[in-house]
Amino acid sequence: MENPGDTQMKLVTGPGGYVLEDVPHFTDYLPDLPSYPNPLQDNPAYSVVKQYFVNADDTVTQKIVVHKDGPRGVHFRRAGPRQRVYFGSDEVHACIVTCGGLCPGLNTVIREIVCGLYHMYGVRKVLGIDGGYRGFYAKNTITLTPKFVNDIHKRGGTILGTSRGGHEKSKIVDSIQDRGINQVYIIGGDGTQRGAAVIFEEIRRRGLKVAVAGIPKTIDNDIPVIDKSFGFDTAVEEAQRAINAAHVEATSIENGIGLVKLMGRYSGFIAMYATLASRDVDCCLIPESPFYLEGSGGLYEYIEKRLKENGHMVIVIAEGAGQDLLSESLQSLDQQDASGNKLLQDVGLWISHRIKDYFAKKMPINLKYIDPTYMIRAIPSIASDNVYCTLLAHSAVHGAMAGYTGFTVGPVNARHAYIPFNRITEKQNKVVITDRMWARLLSSTNQPSFLNPRDIAKSKEEKQPTTGILDSENFKDRTSVTKDNPCLSATGLLVVDNCKDGISVAEDSPCMS
Ligand SMILES: Nc1ncnc2c1ncn2[C@@H]1O[C@H](COP(=O)(O)OP(=O)(O)O)[C@@H](O)[C@H]1O
Ligand SMILES: O=P(O)(O)OC[C@H]1O[C@](O)(COP(=O)(O)O)[C@@H](O)[C@@H]1O
Ligand SMILES: [Mg+2]
Give the separation between CA 132 and CA 289, rounded to whole angstroms. 34
Structure confidence at residue 484 (pLDDT): 33
pLDDT at residue 280 greater than cutoff 70? yes
Give the separation between CA 505 and CA 23, rounded to whole angstroms. 12
Percentage with pLDDT > 90 across the chain: 78
For 329, other C-beta atoms within 10 Å of its C-beta total 10
Ligand nearest to the CA of 220: 2
Region 170-180: what's the mean pLDDT? 98
Give yes or no: 220 in active site. yes
Place 50 in a pLDDT band, splitting at 50, 70 and 90: confident
Q: What is the pLDDT of residues 121-153, one digit of tens each?
A: 999 999 999 999 999 999 889 999 999 999 999
Give the separation between CA 193 and CA 214, rounded to whole angstroms. 6
What CATH class does 232-379+433-460 carry?
A: alpha beta
The domain 11-229+381-425 is placed in CATH, from the list 2.60.40.420, 3.40.50.450, 2.60.40.1180, 3.20.20.140, at: 3.40.50.450
Same fold, 11-229+381-425 and 232-379+433-460: yes
Give residue limits of the domains in the chain.
Answer: 11-229+381-425, 232-379+433-460
First to last CA, the chain: 31
pLDDT at residue 432 greater than cutoff 60? yes
Place 460 in a pLDDT band, splitting at 50, 70 and 90: low
Q: What is the pLDDT of residues 349-391, one digit of tens each?
A: 999 999 999 999 899 999 999 999 999 999 999 999 999 999 9
Which residues contact ligand 2 via a Cβ below 6 A?
100-101, 189, 218-220, 263-265, 319, 337, 377
* Annotated binding-site residue? 377: yes
Burial class (CB in 10 A: 0-12, 13-18, 19+), 386: buried
Asked whether 373 and 346 are in contact (CB, 8 A), the reply is no
Q: At what angle do helices 269-278 and 232-251 cross, to 10 degrees?
A: 50
Nearest CA among 418, 412, 380 for reference residue 399 = 418
Structure confidence at residue 268 (pLDDT): 98
Asked whether 247 and 258 are in contact (CB, 8 A), the reply is yes
Q: Which atom of ligand 1 is nearest to the CA of 167?
A: 27
Average pLDDT, the chain: 88
Which residue's CA is minimally distant from atom 4 of ligand 2? 101
Which residues contact ligand 1 via a Cβ below 6 A?
1-2, 99-101, 132-133, 163-167, 188-192, 194-195, 198, 218, 339, 341
ipTM comes to 0.98
Ligand nearest to the CA of 229: 2
Q: What is the whole-number distance in angstroms between the Cα of residue 486 and the centre of ligand 2? A: 42
pLDDT at residue 481 greater than cutoff 70? no
pLDDT at residue 454 greater than cutoff 50? yes
The string of DSSP codes covering 323-378 is HHHHHHHS-----B-TTSPBPPP-HHHHHHHHHHHHHHTT---EEEEE--GGGGTS
Three-class DSSP category at 117:
helix
Asked whether 113 and 122 are in contact (CB, 8 A), the reply is no
Q: What is the whole-number distance in angstroms between the Cα of residue 314 and the centre of ligand 3? A: 28
Region 334-349: what's the mean pLDDT? 90
Give the separation between CA 281 and CA 261, rounded to whole angstroms. 12
Asked whether 288 and 267 are in contact (CB, 8 A), the reply is yes
Place 334 in a pLDDT band, splitting at 50, 70 and 90: confident
Place 166 in a pLDDT band, splitting at 50, 70 and 90: very high
Q: Could you say which of 22, 28, 130, 220 is catalytic?
A: 220
Give the separation between CA 81 and CA 53, rounded to whole angstroms. 5
Structure confidence at residue 250 (pLDDT): 98
Q: What is the pLDDT of residues 203-253, one digit of tens each?
A: 999 999 999 999 999 999 999 999 999 999 999 999 999 999 999 999 999
pLDDT at residue 453 greater than cutoff 90? no
Host H or E run for residue 274: helix 269-278
* 408, β-bridge pairs: 214, 419
